[in-house]
Amino acid sequence: MFAFDNSYARLPARFYTRMAPTKVAAPELIALNAPLATELGLNVDALRAAADVFAGNQVPDGAEPLAQLYAGHQFGGWSPQLGDGRAILLGEHVAGDRRVDVQLKGSGPTPYSRRGDGRAALGPVIREYIVSEAMHALGVPTTRALAVASTGETVLRETGPLPGGVLTRIAASHIRVGTFQVFAARDDADALQHLLDHAIARHAPDAEGPMGLLRHVMQAQARLIAQWMGFGFVHGVMNTDNMTISGETIDYGPCAFLEAYHPDTVFSSIDQHGRYAWKNQPDIGLWNLAQLATALLPLMGERTEAVAEATEVLEGFRDLYATAWTEVMTAKIGVPDMQLAMELLAIMAEGQGDFTNTFRALTIAPETARDQVLNRDRFDDWLLRWKAANPDHAAMTRANPAIIPRNHRVEEAIDAAYTGDFAPFHALNAVLDDPWQETEANAPYRSPATAQERVLRTFCGT
Ligand code: AMP
Ligand code: MG
């Protein structure tokens, strides 16, 4: 079924715990991502008949299932041991020159579960499927969703019992900043060296040593976060265990897209101080990268010199980010003038205009963007100067989607799934697959939530 070659399982035994997923009562396949399967050279028909594999009841040939160890800073506080508490890495599927992790999420308890049950409710699994695939369609590096299985079991959450689900996640790897941190915290330089070599081979073959990897991850994360910002994406839980070395977005928990633009927007119910607000994401990115640098220090030679050099390298992040952000925003307004772009954001922040629809209006029928802002005089003045700058319409069309996964639509798909109706989930996935044009099919998905529909708070729900 998969062409496994499991390089992570060849790393030292203290990197993971070998174990199979826990079997569930009644596996059923809810969704299979056929285009992704095809892209990975997999047999779609065989996968369609493999609910047992996607629910964790059958370990496919060649898999060497394991739960990965990692640590991390959660909301700034150090957690010395996290790890896959509800996930099992089946192995690495190799297709041509591409190597991807195949991971089951929601597949039962592991030694890293702490107080959790190792399970996932169907809702968060569906959310991750929808949003990660939408991010991919938008061109944002991300882990992918290959399949959703229901378990026929219920999991107990704050709101009561919910149907359980398992997500099959595909990722360039699941190596996190927190994977380096756990070995640094244990003074295990030998493990760090193994992990460094492994990460460089997989993600940055041209990088030299720890400083080379650090630079590589900085560049990837600067680009990634700039893209998030440009689509109004709020990750919601940018802990160091949720930041990849590959530069892919990972762990779609309480994430959400801005509707009304305000830079301070926070959705996550557990983010009480707004640490992971939309506007803070670049700074948090740098903070996390500083933790990566700290973890790599033992491999960087003489300590004083290493600290000085790492600090200097980290200071480069602001420029890397500024370059990436400028690229994103100047494409969004079609004019290579960052001041003009920032002025538009300031005008938008004054009103309750919709982030996605303001930029899309500007792309398709510029005058109508006026309806999205409060200070119309200021906008009219801006629009005159913008027009005079001869905006590049084609660039704008590629940078400003017609649709994003609006939070109330994601909730609607989840609510229906809980009643056994997966039609809204499939319909939403179908329209999000082509976010770049207005179509009849996506018209209902382009409107912001009404006051009643608005989702103010999001939950990890795991
Ligand atoms: P997250 O904030 O979702 O990235 O998860 C942080 C940590 O909590 C990871 O180590 C997860 O494996 C663990 N975790 C989250 N939910 C559960 C659960 N239901 N059972 C066991 N561990 C969990
Ligand atoms: Mg996580």
121 lines ligand 1 (CB under 6 A): no
Chain segment 308-330, per-residue pLDDT in tens: 999 999 999 999 999 999 999 99
Pick the residue whose CA is nearest to atom 23 on ligand 1: 85
Q: Is residue 51 part of a domain?
A: yes
What is d(CA 94, CA 356) in angstroms, rounded to the nearest whole number?
37
Confidence bin at 453 (pLDDT 50/70/90): confident
DSSP secondary structure string, 376-413?
A: HHHHHHHHHHHHHT---HHHHHHHS-S----HHHHHHH
117 lines ligand 1 (CB under 6 A): yes
Give me ligand 2 centre to Cα 461, in Å. Answer: 12
E strand segments, 15-86: 16-18, 28-32, 66-68, 72-74, 77-79
Ligand 1 atom closest to the Cα of residue 84 is 12
The total of structural domains in the chain comes to 1
Q: Is residue 264 part of a domain?
A: no
Chain segment 401-410, per-residue pLDDT in tens: 999 999 999 9
381 CB-side CA count, 13 A: 6
Higher-pLDDT residue of 453, 332:
332
Average pLDDT over residues 72-85: 97
User: Residue 29 is encoded by which pair of tokens?
Assistant: 């396949």
Helix (H) or strand (E) holding 248: none
Give me ligand 2 centre to Cα 149, in Å. Answer: 20
Ligand 1 atom closest to the Cα of residue 115 is 21
Ligand 1 atom closest to the Cα of residue 155 is 19
Q: Is residue 40 part of a domain?
A: yes
Q: Is 371 a catalytic residue?
A: no
Q: DSSP assignment, residue 119?
A: B
Q: Exactly one of 241, 251, 271, 354 is catalytic; which is it? A: 241
Ligand 1 atom closest to the Cα of residue 120 is 19
Strand partners, 257: 233
Domain that holds residue 97: 8-171
Q: Which ligand ends up closest to the CA of 70?
A: 1
128 lines ligand 1 (CB under 6 A): no
Q: Is residue 79 part of a domain?
A: yes
Confidence bin at 456 (pLDDT 50/70/90): confident
106 lines ligand 1 (CB under 6 A): no
Confidence bin at 452 (pLDDT 50/70/90): confident
Ligand 1 atom closest to the Cα of residue 119 is 19
Q: Is residue 122 part of a domain?
A: yes
What is d(CA 173, CA 350) in angstroms, rounded to the nearest whole number?
41
236 lines ligand 1 (CB under 6 A): no
Q: Which ligand ends up closest to the CA of 85?
A: 1
84 lines ligand 1 (CB under 6 A): yes
Q: Which ligand ends up closest to the CA of 120?
A: 1
85 lines ligand 1 (CB under 6 A): yes
Helix (H) or strand (E) holding 317: helix 317-333
Please give the biggest Cα pair distance in the chain: 66
118 lines ligand 1 (CB under 6 A): yes
Pick the residue whose CA is nearest to atom 22 on ligand 1: 85
Sign of CA dihedral 21, 27, 31, 33: positive
pTM score over 0.95: yes
Q: Is residue 257 part of a domain?
A: no
Q: Is residue 125 part of a domain?
A: yes
Ligand 1, pocket-test mutation among 86, 119, 169, 243, most atoms within 8 A of CB: 86
Q: Which ligand ends up closest to the CA of 462?
A: 1
Chain segment 146-188, per-residue pLDDT in tens: 999 999 999 999 889 999 999 999 999 999 999 999 999 999 9
Q: Is residue 440 part of a domain?
A: no
CA dihedral 168, 170, 175, 177 (to 10 degrees): -90
357 lines ligand 1 (CB under 6 A): no
Helix (H) or strand (E) holding 145: strand 144-157
Average pLDDT over residues 95-112: 98
